[in-house]
């Protein structure tokens, strides 16, 4: 498992934060409560968040600020969640979304 | 543009060198200098230094947003000059450590000894480098020898 | 329906300054921000700002954000809503807002739109691979969420954002293999480029990305040289292995609300795209709607802050809130903005602004 967390930074202070557990397609993962789900995934080396509707192209973060729709995933059964701004909570079930996701 | 310190002034001791490279709206150096040695009359002017007032203290170096001010001292030792550079990377070098001395193009032109590391509260730290005198107007960066920055 | 004297949309540097300076005159302000926190793009800016004392020169963006946020919270006549997205501005002056999931109506007397700008993208094969980010996204990941966006990265664009973020990537511990810039010269401040070059990061001018490569995630790019007509030179292709690519190819103002409100808009390349026409006091063709910051034209945080102050002061004065110091403060702000824009670095923006400014009515 990758760890891409920055621990020491020459300008910023990153205090150690408590981790919470969540799942990605049923697999147990860890992240900081309150950080965007996408940040928790990228920190663990998971960069593929969905596959596009027609050509099943892998998609990940592009804008990281909620503008572009590149990061849509299904969270706790709700599709099209912008995980680059959605805060992580303990126990969340996150799924890699295929296309537009299922509403019903 | 940027005036280099005169030969006369270099022979007297540490002095600040400004490498702003172009006119941009900026004047924190003038505000920061405790001896009022720096003038930026109109905001887009490059700084003008009163060589007699400047003592090479380096306060302006920490404040400069462009990290483009350096202090050079041609009188440091008989065979060695001193260059102070701003440094915002981890890990910081340690005193007495030998480092690669880089020119403005990032090419290694020799070795320098870290004489002092001033950790600044605003995180623009200042590193004092002792190196061959003829390199003081050339060396503007360092590369740590055992490990890269931390990647 | 809530009534308010002044609604400020967006709590980045422009919006914060607008809200603060309007509130200091005694006006009642509602400051609305769609993100969870205030500060806009300032919260990622770890570098020190240029300008003069009035624009907090020498301070890091993150510290300026903290000062402005602190100041705005101390003013009891600023009501702050976060996680609040403004959905529309209607002809009858009603503004619809989604606030923490609830649909709300507000009727402000005056509105200051400070919604900023968004990053553009670039067209090339496989530009949608995970690992390809806007430069701002890389900043958000590393400076706000302490996550490395990659281990070995290339920056596209040597404007200020490109050269600043390339340096910040280095500070985060990323190996930056270079910066490519399509133009024959570096667009950003030379001092930013100098910081990269003296640390061994090459800046390839007249170069661009031909294609990105990778099966599931980014694995590398092919760069190529461009001729004087900006066309790729055959045979100049070079493959570079990287796991992250940052695109810093310009920003475009986020003007949807202004279009909807019927403000007269014009496409002005020098300002980043479609912008509303305005007078010298930041008023659009709708006398109840003002603008400040990047939404008025892509520039710098320093200009955004002063435009915000101008708009805040002027709007408050229109509503009858005018302290003794108003005229002096207002004139001073105009002078500061002029001074910021008087150098060669602002030439392009000034050309843009000359096309955007309506004749002053007063």
Q: Does position C154 have pLDDT exceeding 90, yes or no?
A: yes
Total count of domains within chain A: 1
State yes or no: pLDDT of C195 exceeds 90.
Answer: yes
Give the whole-number percent of chain C exceeding pLDDT 70: 99
What are chain B's partners, defined as 3 or more CB pairs within 8 angstroms?
A, C
**Chain B nearest C-alpha distance from A79 (Å):** 36
Instruction: Tell me whether residues A9 and C60 touch, CB distance under 8 A.
Output: no
Q: Residue C361: which pLDDT band, with cuts at 50, 70 and 90?
A: very low
Q: B98 vs A100, B111, B116, B133, CA distance in Å?
A: 57, 7, 12, 16
Q: Tell me if A47 is assigned to some domain.
A: yes
| Interatomic CA distance for residues A10 and C356, integer angstroms | 41
Q: Would you state the structure tokens that stand for residue C271, as one six-digit string?
A: 């300002």
Residue A89 lies in a domain: yes
pLDDT at C362: 43
Whose tokens are 């993150």? That residue is C62
Q: Which residue has the tokens 């990153």?
A: A14
Lookup: tokens for C55:
């624009």
pLDDT at B1: 39
CA distance C31 to C11: 7
Nearest CA distance, A91 vs chain C (angstrom): 20
A6 occurs within a structural domain: no
Task: Express each pLDDT in C71-119 by its tens digit.
Answer: 999 999 999 999 999 999 999 999 999 998 899 999 999 999 999 999 9
**A59, part of any domain:** yes
C-alpha span between A52 and A37 (Å, rounded) = 19
Helix (H) or strand (E) holding C295: none
User: Which residues of chain B make contact with C166, given a CB cutoff of 8 A?
Assistant: none
- How do the pLDDT tens digits run along chain A, 104 residues long? 457 999 899 999 998 888 999 999 999 999 999 999 999 999 999 999 999 999 999 999 999 999 888 999 999 999 999 999 999 999 999 999 999 888 76
In angstroms, the first-to-last Cα distance of chain C is 33
Average pLDDT over residues C225-248: 97
pLDDT at B126: 98
C-chain CB neighbours of A15 within 8 Å are none
Best A10, A11, A13 member to test B by mutation, with max B CBs in 10 Å, is A10
Q: Which CATH architecture has domain B1-71?
A: 2-Layer Sandwich (3.30)
Q: What pLDDT was estimated at residue C360?
A: 58
A10 interaction partners in chain B (CB closer than 8 Å): 88-90, 123
Over residues C48-72, the pLDDT tens digits come to 999 888 888 999 999 999 999 999 9
Q: Do B150 and A9 touch (CB under 8 A)?
A: no
What was the pLDDT predicted at C327? 86
Give me C174's structure tokens: 């990323």
> Token pair of B131, please?
């190196």
**Residue C60: φ, ψ to 5°:** -75, 145
Q: Count CA atoms closer than 13 A to B119's CA, side-chain side.
A: 8
Would you say the C-alpha torsion C187, C192, C195, C196 has a positive or negative sign?
A: negative
Instruction: Determine, for residues C48 and B25 on separate chains, whether the beta-carbon distance falls below 8 Å.
Output: no
Q: Identify the pLDDT of residue A101.
A: 83
Over residues B88-140, the pLDDT tens digits come to 999 999 999 999 999 999 999 999 999 999 999 999 999 999 999 999 999 99
pLDDT over 80 (residue B151): no
Q: List the single residue in C with minimal CA-CA distance to B92.
A: C171
Q: Where are the beta strands (DSSP E) in chain C?
A: 2-9, 29-32, 78-81, 84-89, 95-99, 102-113, 117-119, 132-134, 152-156, 175-181, 203-205, 207-213, 220-225, 238-241, 244-247, 251-253, 265-268, 273-276, 289-291
Comparing alpha-carbon positions, the chain B residue that sits nearest to C339 is B43
Q: How far apart are alpha carbons B3 and A85 in whole angstroms? A: 49
CA dihedral C347, C351, C357, C362 (to 10 degrees): 60
**A66 within some domain:** yes
Q: Could you tell me the CATH number of the domain that includes residue A35?
A: 3.10.20.440
pLDDT of residue C343: 85
In a domain, A4, yes or no: no
Decide if B42 and C342 are in contact by the 8 Å CB cutoff: yes
Query: What rounded mean pLDDT belongs to chain C?
Result: 95
Chain region(s) in chain B for CATH 3.30.70.20: 1-71
Structural domain of residue A36, as residue ranges?
Answer: 19-98
Q: Which residues of A sit within 8 Å Cβ distance of B?
A: 8-11
Which of C35, C121, C133 is facing A61, going by the closest CB pair?
C133
User: Is beta strand C207-213 parallel, antiparallel or unpaired with respect to C220-225?
Assistant: antiparallel
pLDDT recorded at residue B147: 54
The phi-psi region of residue B2 (left if phi > 0; otherwise alpha if psi is between -120 and 50; otherwise beta) is: beta
Q: How large is the average pLDDT for residues C210-228?
A: 97
Contact C15/C309 with Cβ under 8 angstroms?
Answer: no
Chain segment B25-78, per-residue pLDDT in tens: 899 999 999 999 999 998 889 999 999 999 999 999 999 999 999 999 999 999
Structural domain contains residue A80: yes
What percentage of chain C has pLDDT greater than the value 90? 91
**How far apart are alpha carbons C117 and A20 in whole angstroms?**
34
pLDDT at res. A2: 59
């Amino acid at each position: 498992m990758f760890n891409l967390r920055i621990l020491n930074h020459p300008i910023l202070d990153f205090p150690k934060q408590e981790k919470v557990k969540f799942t990605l397609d049923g697999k147990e993962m860890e992240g900081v409560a309150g950080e965007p789900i996408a940040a928790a995934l990228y920190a663990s080396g998971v960069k593929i968040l969905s596959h596009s509707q027609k050509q099943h192209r892998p998609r990940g973060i592009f804008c990281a600020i909620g503008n572009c729709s590149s990061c849509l995933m299904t969270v706790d059964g709700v599709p099209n969640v912008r995980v680059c701004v959605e805060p992580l909570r303990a126990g969340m079930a996150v799924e890699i979304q295929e296309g537009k996701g299922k509403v019903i | 543009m940027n005036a280099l310190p005169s030969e006369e002034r270099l022979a007297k001791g540490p002095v600040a060198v400004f490498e702003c490279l172009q006119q941009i709206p900026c004047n924190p150096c003038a505000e920061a200098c405790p001896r009022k040695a720096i003038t930026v009359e109109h905001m887009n002017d490059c700084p003008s230094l009163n060589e007699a007032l400047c003592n090479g203290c380096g306060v302006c170096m920490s404040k400069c947003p462009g990290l483009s001010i350096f202090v050079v001292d041609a009188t440091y030792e008989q065979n060695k000059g001193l260059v102070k550079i701003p440094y915002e990377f981890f890990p910081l070098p340690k005193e007495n450590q030998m480092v690669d001395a880089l020119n403005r193009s990032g090419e290694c032109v020799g070795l320098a000894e870290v004489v002092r590391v001033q950790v600044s509260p605003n995180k623009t730290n200042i590193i004092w480098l002792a190196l061959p005198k003829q390199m003081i107007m050339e060396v503007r960066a360092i590369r740590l020898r055992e490990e890269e920055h931390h990647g | 329906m809530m009534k308010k004297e002044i609604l400020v949309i967006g709590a980045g540097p422009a919006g914060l300054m607008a809200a603060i300076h309007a509130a200091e005159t005694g006006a009642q302000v509602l400051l609305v921000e769609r993100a969870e926190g205030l500060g806009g793009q300032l919260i990622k800016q770890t570098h020190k700002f240029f300008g003069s004392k009035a624009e907090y020169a020498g301070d890091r963006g993150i510290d300026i954000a903290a000062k402005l946020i602190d100041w705005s919270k101390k003013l009891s006549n600023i009501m702050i809503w976060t996680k609040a997205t403004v959905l529309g501005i209607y002809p009858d002056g009603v503004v619809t807002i989604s606030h923490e999931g609830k649909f709300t109506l507000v009727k402000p007397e005056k509105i200051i739109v400070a919604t900023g700008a968004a990053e553009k993208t670039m067209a090339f094969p496989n530009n949608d691979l995970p690992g390809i980010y806007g430069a701002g996204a890389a900043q958000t990941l590393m400076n706000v969420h302490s996550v490395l966006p990659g281990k070995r990265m290339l920056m596209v664009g040597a404007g200020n954002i490109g050269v600043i973020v390339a340096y910040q990537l280095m500070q985060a511990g990323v190996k930056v293999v270079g910066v490519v810039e399509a133009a024959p010269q570096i667009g950003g401040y030379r001092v930013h480029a100098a910081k990269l070059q003296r640390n061994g990061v090459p800046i390839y001018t007249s170069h661009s990305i031909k294609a990105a490569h990778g099966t599931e995630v980014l694995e590398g790019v092919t760069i190529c040289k461009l001729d004087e007509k900006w066309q790729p030179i055959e045979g100049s292709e070079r493959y570079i292995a990287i796991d992250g690519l940052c695109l810093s190819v310009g920003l475009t103002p986020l003007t949807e609300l202004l279009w909807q409100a019927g403000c007269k808009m014009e496409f002005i390349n020098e300002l980043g795209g479609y912008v509303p026409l305005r007078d010298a006091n930041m008023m659009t063709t709708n006398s109840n709607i003002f603008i400040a910051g990047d939404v008025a034209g892509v520039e710098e945080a320093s200009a955004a802050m002063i435009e915000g102050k101008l708009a805040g002061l002027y709007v408050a004065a229109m509503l009858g809130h005018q302290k003794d110091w108003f005229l002096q403060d207002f004139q001073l702000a105009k002078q500061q903005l002029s001074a910021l824009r008087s150098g060669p670095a602002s030439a392009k923006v000034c050309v843009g602004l000359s096309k955007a400014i309506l004749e002053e009515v007063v």
